[in-house]
A and B are shown apart, each in its own frame.
Chain A
């Protein structure tokens, strides 16, 4: 029997998710170029316009790009629901998101309101379409497991992060009146903890046991973690707007503890994997979880010692660890699972029993994955060093970030090249 509610339509065409995945790495290169152009001044404070431009090239151009593309791809595969009109939806998300990320970077760098207005409309459209399409699919999911619960929490958090971001965009673009510092803190927390971390959590439930051959996450964790974190974020938001400083501090300490718990649980599971020689993406997961853990520890430290928490270098580290450490590492590793699988799967579907299909390892050799990791690690470490000693480390960090981004981009484009060549050879 086919389970009730399971759609019989096909998985989305390969270009639907791939356009996101092939675009994203070049935003890392763009971010690196911005660092090289601005020089050490970019690491003076997280609040500088150029630093905000850099941050949004990473979180919108790279992170949101891949995360939304992966959701559009994942929902049919993991949850069994189909996103309506996949090609049109993908275009209406990918194009405005890409242009909006660029416009927002230009807006911060130039300070011209019309660029903020352009970014506002563009990002509003892209995220609006993505949220609508993915929400519709997720609430129709035939199976409600831990992953669907976590994805729903992540999607709700994305909605909050986007609304707060649009409010801030209104402040810069049209001069709306709002408590900018509080809204910025909440925007970052909903974006990084609510949307990014909870999406990674929901995906990790599936892919860590699947690809790294580990035991599953504990059942209580799978059911309860994401809703608890979402509830803490709601409480924190209330306390922050209500001016209850002590309660807000305690809630953020609980959030930091929750994030650390996820990192520790995942590292523990990775240590229990059944294969001696780990999957080539194992190092990306480890680097990601270690960054998350250190980020959570520093965050707690800053809450306990407010004078430390207010240091510009400290604030920069608290941005680099979750963004370039946690999120970029895990996304980089996941891209190496998703893109070759997509190419392999679509080739199988198109050429089944007519032509030989390259294996996933032929589409993307393990060695390429392992080598790029060293470039990534160099970029992460020099970035962290640049936050503390910008004069010495900004240019090495820019170089390493550019290399790792371009290397990722070429590796993924290589899969696409083999895909096209295999199809051409089979259909002369």
Chain B
């Protein structure tokens, strides 16, 4: 448990908490405030979400988080994307895990614009992210700025399409 708390503090120093408050009036006219997390670290139920910490971050946090995680014994288990076509956004999800007796899984989620999507690479900090980022570029066309080689890894070498985009037509 201590590991989860210390990691939460570590990440909270990098990603400042930001919420939007929306007010709704219920039947009796009382004002109800609901908070939506825009950015920040939250502890989630492992049994349901499969991770201990869920981090909503933005592009400038990606590299500082990767550096802090590398220093603290985390490794990158996967990097992937999601195409949120309705919001005109893309999401990049980084899954961090550690190999010792104090289990702590962390998901870092970053939303970026859907047109010309770009995000800094973490492959120089975690070499294991290299192929995962190449794969994400294959499937979504997300540019990982500073990546040494974004040539197709799973798709044919001359592929100029991104099949996991929701508006992809074969």
The answer to whether A and B assemble together is: no
B: residues with CB less than 8 A from A are none
Contact residues of A with B, CB < 8 Å?
none
